[in-house]
C-alpha cells in the first residue's frame, strides 16, 4: 500500500520513485544505527540529497528549482521519512525559508539568499520558540535592538533544529517595545556552521531527546549578536508574525507527510512481521485480531495521505489551505501514533526492544502531535475557523 501512480503527474511519479530508491539505498541501512548512537545525520548524506536537487524541489524552475511545488515536497517528505523521520525533515528549513523570502523578502534578499537556499549550498534553520513562548508565539521576549546599521540581538531560543548545520537562521524577535504581534520582526541571522557557534555573542547547547535523533535541536543564547539591517525580512519592522504565518500551510503539510512516511514504514514492518512470526502453528497474520489491526492501519494511512494531497493541491493552485493544513497535520500526527502503537503490539516483546526499527518509529511518532503546533492547538484553530465561517 503506497501512493498510486494514477493520482499524480508522471514527473512527480519519477521524483517519488527516485527519492524512494535513494532512501532505501542511502538512508535506511544507516538510520537505526545512528538513531541508537544518537549521532548526527552525516554531512555526506545531506550533500547527496542536495546534489539530487531536493532543497529546490518546490522552488520555481526559473529560479533554479525543480518546479515540483508543494506536491513534490509532500512526496519527497513521505519517502525520506519512511526511511528515517529525521532525514525527512532536513529539507524543510530551506523549503520554508525559500517560501518566506519569495513571499515577503526584498528584491535584494531574493538575490542574496535564494540561489544558495535552492541549491542547498546554504542551509537554514528557524528560531521562534522560547521557554515561555511555545504555542503562544506572540509572547516571545528575544529582542533585536536597532543600533546604527545593525540589529543587536539579546535573548534565548529553544528547539532550534538543524542550528549546528545552518548558515542562516530565521529569527523571530521583538524590534520595538510594544506588546503583541505588531512589534515582532523576522531577521536573517548569519552564522558559521558547527556546534561552536560564535561565542560569546551566540552560544548553544544540544537538547537531548528520546526520539527524532540525528537532526539535533538546540537551545540558543544571544548576547549582543549583530545582524545587518538589510537582513530584516521585507525591510519593514513589525511584520514578522504575519510573515511566519504565511508559510504555516506549507510547514504543516510537511508535518503531515512526515507522519505519513513513518506510519507507512511501521505498517510495512508490521505486515512483514505478521507473515513471518509463527505462533500456534501458523503465521500470526492468520489470526483475525492481527488482520483487523492491519486493515485499520492501512485505512488510516490512506485517509491521511489523501487529506495531505488535498492540501498540497490547494497550495499549488494558490488557494487558501490553512484550515485543511491544520486538519491534515492533526489527523496524520494521530494516525502515526495509532499505527506505530499497533505495529509495536504486532511485534510483541520484540517491538519493545530498542534493536528493532519499529521501536524507533514508535519513539519518533511521539513528536508528531507536538511539533509545528500541538494537537490541542490544531483543534482550537480548526474549531475557531469552523465556528467563524459556519
149-208 pLDDT, tens digit per residue, is: 999 999 999 999 999 999 999 999 999 988 888 999 999 999 998 876 889 999 999 999
pLDDT tens-digit profile of 343-377?
Answer: 999 999 999 999 999 999 999 999 999 998 999 99
* CATH code of the domain made up of 244-389: 1.20.140.10
Residue 137, pLDDT score: 80
Task: Please check the confidence at residue 6 and state whether its pLDDT lies above 70.
Answer: no
What number of other Cβ atoms are within 10 A of residue 266's Cβ? 32
Task: Please check the confidence at residue 1 and state whether its pLDDT lies above 60.
Answer: no
Q: What percent of the chain has pLDDT over 70?
A: 98
Residue 3, pLDDT score: 58
Gap between the Cα atoms of 223 and 214, Å rounded? 28
Q: Could you tell me where in the chain the CATH 1.10.540.10 domains are found?
A: 5-119
Confidence of residue 16 (pLDDT cuts 50, 70, 90): very high
Direct distance between the N- and C-terminal alpha carbons of the chain, in angstroms, rounded to an integer = 36
Gap between the Cα atoms of 86 and 89, Å rounded? 5
Gap between the Cα atoms of 309 and 253, Å rounded? 9
Gap between the Cα atoms of 171 and 128, Å rounded? 6
Mean pLDDT of 327-342: 99
Nearest CA-CA partner of 214 in 169, 161, 159: 161
Q: Could you tell me where in the chain the CATH 1.20.140.10 domains are found?
A: 244-389
Task: Please check the confidence at residue 2 and state whether its pLDDT lies above 80.
Answer: no
CATH architecture designation of domain 5-119: Orthogonal Bundle (1.10)
Q: What percent of the chain has pLDDT over 90?
A: 91
Residue 4, pLDDT score: 57
Mean pLDDT of 72-97: 98
124-238 belongs to CATH 2.40.110.10: yes
pLDDT tens-digit profile of 248-278?
Answer: 999 999 999 999 999 999 999 999 999 999 9
Amino acid at each position: 500500500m503506497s501512493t498510486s501512480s494514477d493520482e499524480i503527474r508522471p514527473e512527480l511519479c519519477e521524483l517519488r520513485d527516485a527519492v524512494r530508491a535513494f532512501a532505501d539505498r542511502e538512508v535506511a541501512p544507516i538510520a537505526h544505527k545512528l538513531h541508537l548512537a544518537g549521532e548526527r545525520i552525516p554531512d555526506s548524506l545531506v550533500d547527496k540529497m542536495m546534489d539530487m536537487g531536493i532543497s529546490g524541489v518546490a522552488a520555481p524552475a526559473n529560479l533554479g528549482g525543480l518546479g515540483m511545488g508543494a506536491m513534490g515536497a509532500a512526496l519527497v517528505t513521505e519517502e525520506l521519512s519512511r526511511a528515517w523521520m529525521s532525514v525527512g525533515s532536513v529539507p524543510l528549513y530551506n523549503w520554508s525559508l525559500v517560501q518566506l523570502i519569495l513571499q515577503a523578502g526584498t528584491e535584494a534578499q531574493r538575490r542574496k539568499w535564494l540561489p544558495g537556499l535552492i541549491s542547498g549550498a546554504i542551509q537554514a534553520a528557524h528560531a521562534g520558540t522560547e521557554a515561555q513562548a511555545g504555542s503562544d508565539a506572540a509572547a516571545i521576549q528575544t529582542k533585536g535592538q536597532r543600533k546604527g546599521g545593525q540589529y543587536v540581538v539579546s535573548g534565548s531560543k529553544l528547539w532550534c533544529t538543524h542550528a549546528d548545520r545552518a548558515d542562516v537562521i530565521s529569527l523571530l524577535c521583538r524590534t520595538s517595545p510594544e506588546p503583541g504581534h505588531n512589534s515582532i520582526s523576522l531577521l536573517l541571522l548569519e552564522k558559521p556552521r558547527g556546534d561552536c557557534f560564535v561565542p560569546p555573542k551566540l552560544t548553544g547547547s544540544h537538547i537531548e531527546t528520546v526520539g527524532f535523533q540525528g537532526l539535533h535541536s538546540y537551545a540558543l543564547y544571544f548576547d549582543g549578536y549583530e545582524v545587518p539591517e538589510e537582513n530584516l525580512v521585507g525591510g519593514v519592522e513589525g511584520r514578522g508574525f504575519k510573515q511566519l504565518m504565511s508559510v504555516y500551510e506549507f510547514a504543516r503539510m510537511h508535518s503531515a507527510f512526515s507522519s505519513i512516511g513513518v506510519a507507512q514504514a511501521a505498517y510495512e514492518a508490521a505486515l512483514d512481521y505478521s507473515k513471518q512470526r509463527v505462533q500456534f502453528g501458523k503465521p500470526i497474520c492468520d489470526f483475525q485480531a492481527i488482520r483487523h489491526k492491519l486493515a485499520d492501519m492501512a485505512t488510516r494511512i490512506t485517509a491521511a495521505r489523501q487529506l495531505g494531497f488535498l492540501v498540497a493541491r490547494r497550495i499549488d493552485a494558490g488557494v487558501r489551505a490553512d484550515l485543511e493544513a491544520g486538519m491534515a497535520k492533526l489527523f496524520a500526527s494521530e494516525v502515526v501514533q495509532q499505527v506505530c502503537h499497533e505495529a509495536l503490539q504486532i511485534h510483541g516483546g520484540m517491538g519493545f526492544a530498542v534493536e528493532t526499527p519499529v521501536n524507533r518509529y514508535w519513539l519518533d511518532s511521539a513528536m508528531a502531535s507536538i511539533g509545528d503546533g500541538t494537537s490541542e492547538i490544531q483543534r482550537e484553530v480548526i474549531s475557531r475557523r469552523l465556528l467563524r465561517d459556519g
